[in-house]
Amino acid sequence: MITLLEQPKRIPGGLHLEANKRQSLERPLRQARLPARLTVPLSQHIGEAAEPVVSKGDRVLKGQLIARSPDYISAPVHAPTSGTVIDVGDYPVPHPSGLSAGCIVIEADGEDRAADTGLKMEAVFEAEPADIRQRVRDAGIVGLGGAGFPTSVKLNPGPEHSVDLLLINAAECEPYISCDEALMCHHTSEVIDGIRIIRHALNARQVAIGVEDNMPDAIRCLQRGLEQAGEQDIRIVPVPTIYPAGGEKQLIYALTGEEVPSQGLPIDLGVVCHNVGTAAAVARALLHGEPLISRIVTVTGAGVSEPCNLEVRIGTPMSELIEQCGGYTGEVSQLLMGGPMMGIALVSDGLPVIKTTNCLLAASRAEAPPPAPAHPCIRCSACSEVCPAMLLPQQLYWYAHARNFDKIQDYKLFDCIECGCCALVCPSHIPLVQYYRFAKTEIWAQERERRKADLARQRHEFRLQRLEREKKALEERRARARKALKKPGGGKDDGKKAEIAAALERVKARKADAAAETQDGNTGGNG
């Protein structure tokens, strides 16, 4: 059984970075204007992309299902507003590749009429956990901290696990991003209601909210909200401000002193971790019947005139948000989705906001300087000192550079959270994280090819076994026919009947072989 520490621990490694959050919190949170056209990607989460259930020309209402989830690890997509579907096809999406992907484009009618989603639960705190999970799944809720993992899956720890600790991650550690702090200060009751619903669904023994200690306003709002709700069993724990204290494994270590096993999950310790924004989305869905069609986005950086936090409909063009924040300044050099450490550079501001868009950083050259030329590694070990996962970044770099993908896994490549600390402190300016991402991608590709080869080999082996069984069965039938011919006292007619029966058996066997050959060809079998 896991227990909370009286005083949080300092995470290994990490960096003290300039927060740069005040500029976006000086203005109050406000609702972004509804755009004339919204582009809603079918893949905004980890797992399989959603499949469209609407076509060009269909009328839709706000909150209506427009794409269903085809797999367990997936999430449906809903219309952000009422209007007309004007296209279903590939459009540019915010992704490091810069490529296009499947989207549903909706022309808003300006009426913003809502559908009856059927998500609202009248007695949610008396409901069965399975019913809550299904409603959360139907609402298309995913983790809003950046990863986008389907929330319903994390609400299902399985019968073999019990939840000792529900940990709400409000440690918004990356510089510039303040959407979670704005949420906690302006929608406190939704956050607390969502936490209570998740606690009920998981039957969690204890609950803690981890908040960085440089967010006193958020801590005060949460404390006041818990008092008003009469909640005495939810503990607020300020954690030391250091990047990346908001990483799931790092936050668990800071609050409990326990380490999630390598290649393991928090549930292996009896812990489930949800982002504070995810909790609010759960409350909005189950108490008000609204699926995940909007989120709070921080628009900030020296490149934008009026930094602030906006509540934005999914699918809104990013250019609209920049315009609503006063437009660009002359200092803008680059537009990032996310913060300066883990954000991705965008090729255009015409891309749509998605469920995992927590920040738009219009950065100046000083805030996001162009990469310096890389030089040979000098083995200074600075990267190892700041690694929050206690890895050996130098060794990972060497094996990634040499494409030795077997050896690199011995150094726990997949424990790397790609926080960027190692690359930031590297005096040789080696883009270390890019090497790690490359190695992970190559390993995943090799694993997919290996699974395909294994499946083809199994099909081939099954086919050979089936042919061998059929051959033996045919031989047995022929042997019985010959035995009938030689049977004492058997007449001439009996012999002819036996010959005919044997011939029919041979014809049936040939037809069965031909049918099996056709089936194997259709299913991709070898041979």
Residue-range domain boundaries for the chain? 22-313, 374-527
Please name the helix (run of DSSP H) or strand (run of DSSP E) that holds residue 255, with its range, or none: helix 248-256
Q: Is 390 left (phi over 0), alpha (psi -120 to 50) or beta?
A: left
CA pair distance 377, 422, nearest whole angstrom: 12
Residue 171: which of 209, 142, 197, 221 has the closest Cα?
209
Residue 88: which of 103, 107, 68 has the closest Cα?
103
pLDDT of 475: 87
pLDDT of 488: 62
Please list the helix, strand and coil fractions of the chain in percent, rounded to the nearest 5, in that order. 40, 20, 45
pTM of the model: 0.85
CA pair distance 426, 429, nearest whole angstrom: 5
Query: What string of pLDDT tens digits covers the 527 residues of the chain?
Result: 888 998 999 999 999 999 999 999 999 999 999 999 999 999 999 999 999 999 999 999 999 999 999 999 999 999 999 999 999 999 999 988 888 999 999 999 999 999 999 999 999 999 999 999 999 999 999 999 877 999 999 999 988 889 999 999 999 999 999 999 999 999 999 999 999 999 999 999 999 999 999 999 999 999 999 999 999 999 999 999 999 999 999 999 999 999 999 888 999 999 999 999 999 999 999 999 999 999 999 999 999 999 999 999 999 999 999 999 999 999 999 999 999 999 999 999 999 999 999 999 999 999 999 889 999 999 999 999 999 999 999 999 999 999 999 999 999 999 999 999 999 999 999 999 999 999 999 999 999 898 899 999 999 999 999 999 988 988 888 888 777 767 665 545 555 666 677 777 777 777 776 666 666 555 544 43
CA pair distance 116, 24, nearest whole angstrom: 35
* Full DSSP string of 420-466: -HHHHH-TT---HHHHHHHHHHHHHHHHHHHHHHHHHHHHHHHHHHH
139 and 314 Cβ atoms separated by less than 8 Å: no
Quick one: CA dihedral 252, 254, 255, 261, positive or negative?
A: positive
**Distances 90 to 84, 193, 234, 358, 526 between C-alpha atoms, Å:** 18, 38, 45, 23, 35
> How would you write 492-521 as a 3-class SS string?
HHHHHHHHHHHHHHHHHHHHHHHHHHHHHH
Measured in Å, how far apart are the chain's first and last C-alpha atoms?
A: 54
Number of neighbouring beta carbons within 10 Å of residue 235: 14
Residue 135: which of 186, 194, 204, 175 has the closest Cα?
194
- SS3 label, residue 176: coil
Q: How is residue 173 written in tokens?
A: 């550690």
Q: Phi first, then psi: what are they for 134, rounded to 5°?
A: -65, -40
Q: Phi first, then psi: what are they for 380, rounded to 5°?
A: -85, -15
Any bridge partners for residue 299, and if so which? Answer: 308, 360
129 and 200 Cβ atoms separated by less than 8 Å: yes
Q: Phi first, then psi: what are they for 337, rounded to 5°?
A: -100, 110
Cis peptide before 244 (omega within 30 of 0): yes
Any bridge partners for residue 177, and if so which? Answer: none
Q: Phi first, then psi: what are they for 58, rounded to 5°?
A: -70, 145
Q: CA angle at residue 121 from 118 to 125, to 5 degrees?
A: 160
Diameter of the chain measured on Cα atoms: 109
CA pair distance 365, 303, nearest whole angstrom: 9
Q: How is residue 275 written in tokens?
A: 């982002």
- Domain 22-313 in CATH 2.40.50.140: no
211 and 296 Cβ atoms separated by less than 8 Å: no
Residue 342: which of 421, 251, 426, 431 has the closest Cα?
421
